[in-house]
Structure 1
């Protein structure tokens, strides 16, 4: 059984949650609760590039805000 997250020739979505965390997601999988599509179906490498460009702070949003306020 192959890993659905590692198929270089498959289409994926990029998901984001309220904490501004990103996820690569198989296009045929149901989007989990709490996540929304931020990049529609695209090749895996396009999705990975999108995540690298947009997810510049690995801390959850709530942690980053607390550190900024503190």
Structure 2
């Protein structure tokens, strides 16, 4: 089974927690407690680009 965080297709979200840490998250899953959506849904590459530009 493929790792859902590494699949190139599908929509992804960029999450950020209260400590300012980012996470790339598959768009079809629920957002875990303590995290907020800051970008997306978008492609995996676009979300990774957002993280790179924002850090």
- The bucket for the TM-score relative to the shorter chain is over 0.9
TM-score (norm 1): 0.75
- Give ranges in structure 2 of 5+ residues lacking alignment: none
Larger Rg: 1
TM-score (norm 2): 0.94
Match of 2:43?
Answer: 43
Residue 35 (structure 2) pairs with residue 53 (structure 1): no
Cα distance in 2 for residues equivalent to 1:23 and 1:54: 12
Instruction: Tell me which protein shows more strand as a share of its residues.
Output: 2
Aligned residues: CA RMSD: 0.7
* Stretches of 4+ aligned residues off by more than 2 angstroms: none
Instruction: Tell me which protein shows more helix as a share of its residues.
Output: 1
Match of 1:8?
Answer: 8
- Give ranges in structure 1 of 5+ residues lacking alignment: 56-70
Alignment length (residue pairs): 55
Residue 41 (structure 2) pairs with residue 22 (structure 1): no
